[in-house]
Structures are given as structure tokens and as C-alpha cells.
A = this chain, B = another copy of it.
């Protein structure tokens, strides 16, 4: 039960917008988004008993988060690349993504603009982490995050039966979707297969598993996505799949 303060929040946000000189219509739109997001945040961590007030601080948190997301990605990628991870890297290379809290759009997910690239027995991140850098990994995270807002990070790795087996032996939850079962009307919309696949898996399971994989299709490499709450958790899960990695 959430909702205290919806009206006054809206009018305060509207006034703030008008004071900045933007049009009434724009200010109203921004105010609406502000209220919606505050409501959502409040529903995740309601305050007190009865009807919880809105969580205005979500906006402040997201400003802080934007910086922290970049620095966490940098640090987690450096950690990951300090291991000989070659066998984890697929032909399309890997990417590590991390979303802002309650992210809804691709440009609220940061990743490496040149991906994480195999080179010799190691891998290296190419470019500095950037919001909006990867459509693929953003779609994976945004779809999972809708089911569980605590899941904000993902890493795609090479598909190999041995990784799946090792994950299951380690007690990680693993789920599969098949690109061929995607309804044709959804397939028609470009870029939607990953969204459909991740969503289908999560809604069937009722939770977001640690690994979601598919066996590929014409023109599409099979792929495993490792999911978790932040890039450190995600890279640690992935390293456990490595034959010689930390167990």
C-alpha cells in the first residue's frame, strides 16, 4: 500500500519545472514520470505502516548511481580480466552490463562500447564503460529487471555444455529458451528475441535464474547470459564455470 504524497509531489515537481522555464506540457510530463518512479521505488522498500509515502530520494540515488555504475563496471571487468578467461569468451565477444536502479531504457544500462575481447589467453575491456553502449546486454538486463528489480547486471559468455553442467553442479539455477519458439508476430519486431526469451524464462520460473542460455539459430551463436545483482556477483559466477577458475 503506497501512495501518500502523490498529489503534492506532482504539483511540486510541476512547479519546479515551470520555474526552470520549460512549457507547461513538458513540465507536466516530467512531473508524471517523477511521481511514477517515486511510487515504484516506494513499493520496493515501503516506509512505515499503512500507505507508504513516495520515495523522492530515488532520483538522488540514480544520480549517484550513474557514477557508481561506471566505476563498478570498471573494477569488475578488471577483476574478471585478471583471470585466464579465454574459454568463456564467445565469437561475438562478451559484454558486461549494469543498469541504474529501476532502469527502463537501454540508455540507463552501461556497458563496454568495444565489448570485452579475447586476446591470447586473457580478455580485455575495450573502451570506458558508457550508458547506452550495448543493445544486447541492455535488453537482457531490462527484461530480467522487470521481474526482479534486484537483478541489475549481466555478462554474456560462450555456450558450452560443460559450463551448463558445472553451473548445475555448483547449485546455480539454469534455464533455457529456444529462439524457434518465439511467436512470429513478436519476431517481426526487430531486436525483440532476447526480450521475449528472457521474459518467457523468468515468467515461467517465477524468478530470475543465475544463467539463461539458448542454443542459437541461423546466423545466431548459441549463448549463455549470467545474471546477478551487480557486476561483481556476475563475474564471480562466471569465473566459477571456468575449468581452472576459483571454485
Query: What residues of chain A have their CB less than 8 Å away from a CB belonging to chain B?
Result: 60, 63-64, 66-67, 70, 74, 91-93, 113-115, 117-120, 124, 126-129, 215-222
Give Cα distance in the complex from A51 to B183, angstroms. 66
Residues of B within 8 A of A119 (CB): 113-114, 126-127
Residues of B within 8 A of A63 (CB): 60, 63-64, 67
Q: Tell which of B126, B129, B215, B221 touches A117, judged by Cβ atoms closer than 8 Å.
A: B126
Residues of B within 8 A of A114 (CB): 117-120, 124
Q: How many copies does the complex hold?
A: 4
Residues of B within 8 A of A218 (CB): 216-218, 220
Q: Tell which of B115, B127, B221 touches A221, judged by Cβ atoms closer than 8 Å.
A: B221
Give Cα distance in the complex from A218 to B220, angstroms. 6
Residues of B within 8 A of A222 (CB): 219
Q: Which residue of B lies closest to A90 (CB)?
A: B92
Give Cα distance in the complex from A150 to B74, angstroms. 30
Closest Cβ of chain B to A46, distance in Å, is 17
Give Cα distance in the complex from A127 to B74, angstroms. 10
Residues of B within 8 A of A70 (CB): 67, 70, 128
Q: Which residue of B lies closest to A71 (CB)?
A: B130
Q: Which residue of B lies closest to A78 (CB)?
A: B120
Q: Tell which of B113, B124, B126, B220 touches A219, judged by Cβ atoms closer than 8 Å.
A: B220
Give Cα distance in the complex from A74 to B216, angstroms. 34
Closest Cβ of chain B to A223, distance in Å, is 10
Residues of B within 8 A of A67 (CB): 63, 66-67, 70
Closest Cβ of chain B to A238, distance in Å, is 19
Residues of B within 8 A of A219 (CB): 215-217, 220-222
